[in-house]
């Protein structure tokens, strides 16, 4: 077939979009499997158990109706534990997110050995497991043993019982959580900040941006999806607090058995034997985490593409 100037030859080629989708499916497949096995399946099981009646330890599915929810929600400790969790979130979430972002931006402003050393120092506590970190915190908070004894005594704390009180728990857990998790997030933000084009930063510098203006007006907006991701995980993790109140509460002179919703769920399941009420509390924590994630996603537009952002601009 001879092509004339007015002849149009159409050649069928494999769609790049289709090939891209197939490759994306392979990348997402491991996460999807783990999500189904360890996320969605346990959630569905908890929903089923929450409506079950237990006879001699065996569940009779859908025989309890809303009785388990009634038992859990009318318990005198239910609102108190969730109030404790929200008081902790009110302090830990802004302190954690803002503190990590500020430290990451400050370290990125310096490209020398000092910044590298400080990143390592922040990262080291994150390598310690949660319960071990809590035990180290108890040692640090004990005025009789702490290397910061002079500071604790200056604040009026003479014994460990003076420090470990329920009214101080939100602040104590915030400190423990911040130094335990800040290093990992600083490393993530460091990678995100290094991915910013040098041409963009150089153009801002030529336009007169100083270090502070560049950090806040250039770098911070470009790493905002990572900040939103941190806010989601921090919110979901903090609502499920268990190890910190369980270990620290037992270190005082008068042990505090129940402080967080997770502890109350444990109490229902393994001390009272009411797994249905425990499942109901776990579903409430799951719902709160999902609502928090949806709020962050809708207010930050984390999944909005760069093209749509530039079009709106």
pLDDT band at 121 (very low <50, low <70, confident <90, very high): confident
Query: If you average pLDDT over residues 168-194, what whole number do you get?
Result: 88
**pLDDT tens string 222-271:** 898 899 989 998 998 889 888 888 888 777 656 677 899 999 999 998 88
pLDDT tier for residue 28 given thresholds of 50, 70 and 90: confident
160: exposed, middle or buried (C-beta count within 10 Å: 0-12, 13-18, 19+)? buried
Identify the pLDDT of residue 310. Answer: 41
What DSSP assignment string belongs to 179-230? HHHHHHHHHHHHHHHHTS-HHHHHHHHHTT--HHHHIIIIIHHHTHHHHHHH
What average pLDDT does this structure show over 141-151? Answer: 85
Percentage above 70 pLDDT, the chain = 86
- Which of 116, 99, 98, 96 is CA-nearest to residue 107? 116
Mean pLDDT of 56-72: 84
Find which of 30-39, 126-135, 250-259 is predicted with most confidence, using mean pLDDT: 30-39
Between CA 61 and CA 55 the distance in angstroms is: 11
Any idea which of 60-69, 124-133, 142-151 has the lowest mean pLDDT? 124-133
CA pair distance 123, 116, nearest whole angstrom: 11
Q: What is the pLDDT of residue 131?
A: 73
Q: CA-to-CA distance for 39 and 33, rounded, in angstroms?
A: 9
> Is residue 263 within 8 Å of residue 246, measured between CB atoms?
yes
pLDDT confidence of 313, banded at 50, 70, 90? Answer: very low
pLDDT more than 90, % of the chain: 28
- What residue ranges define each of the domains in the chain, with the CATH number in brackets? 78-257 (1.10.3720.10)
């Amino acid at each position: 077939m001879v092509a004339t100037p007015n002849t149009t030859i159409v050649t069928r080629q494999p769609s790049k979009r289709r090939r891209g989708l197939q490759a994306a499916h392979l990348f997402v497949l491991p996460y999807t499997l783990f999500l189904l096995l360890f996320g969605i399946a346990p959630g569905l099981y908890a929903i089923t158990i929450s409506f079950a009646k237990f006879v001699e330890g065996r569940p009779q599915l859908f025989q309890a109706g809303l009785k388990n929810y009634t038992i859990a929600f009318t318990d005198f400790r239910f609102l108190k534990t969730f109030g404790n969790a929200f008081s902790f979130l009110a302090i830990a979430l802004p302190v954690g997110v803002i503190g990590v972002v500020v430290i990451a931006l400050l370290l990125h402003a310096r490209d020398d050995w000092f910044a590298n050393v400080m990143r390592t120092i922040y990262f080291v506590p994150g390598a310690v497991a949660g319960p071990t970190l809590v035990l180290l915190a108890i040692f640090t908070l004990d005025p009789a043993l702490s290397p910061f004894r002079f500071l604790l005594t200056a604040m009026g704390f003479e014994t460990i019982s003076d420090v470990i009180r329920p009214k101080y728990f939100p602040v104590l857990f915030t400190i423990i959580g911040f130094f335990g998790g800040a290093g990992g997030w600083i490393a993530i933000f460091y990678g995100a900040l290094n991915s910013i084009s040098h041409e963009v930063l150089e153009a801002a510098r030529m336009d007169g941006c100083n270090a502070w203006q560049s950090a806040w007006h250039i770098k911070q907006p470009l790493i905002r999806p990572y900040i939103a991701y941190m806010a989601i995980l921090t919110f979901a993790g903090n609502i499920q607090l268990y190890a910190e109140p369980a270990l620290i509460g037992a270190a005082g002179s008068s042990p505090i058995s129940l402080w967080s919703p997770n502890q109350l769920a444990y109490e229902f399941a393994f001390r009272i034997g009411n797994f249905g009420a425990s499942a109901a509390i776990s579903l409430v924590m799951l719902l709160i985490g999902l609502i928090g994630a949806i709020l962050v996603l809708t207010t930050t537009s984390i999944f909005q593409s760069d093209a749509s952002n530039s079009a709106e601009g």
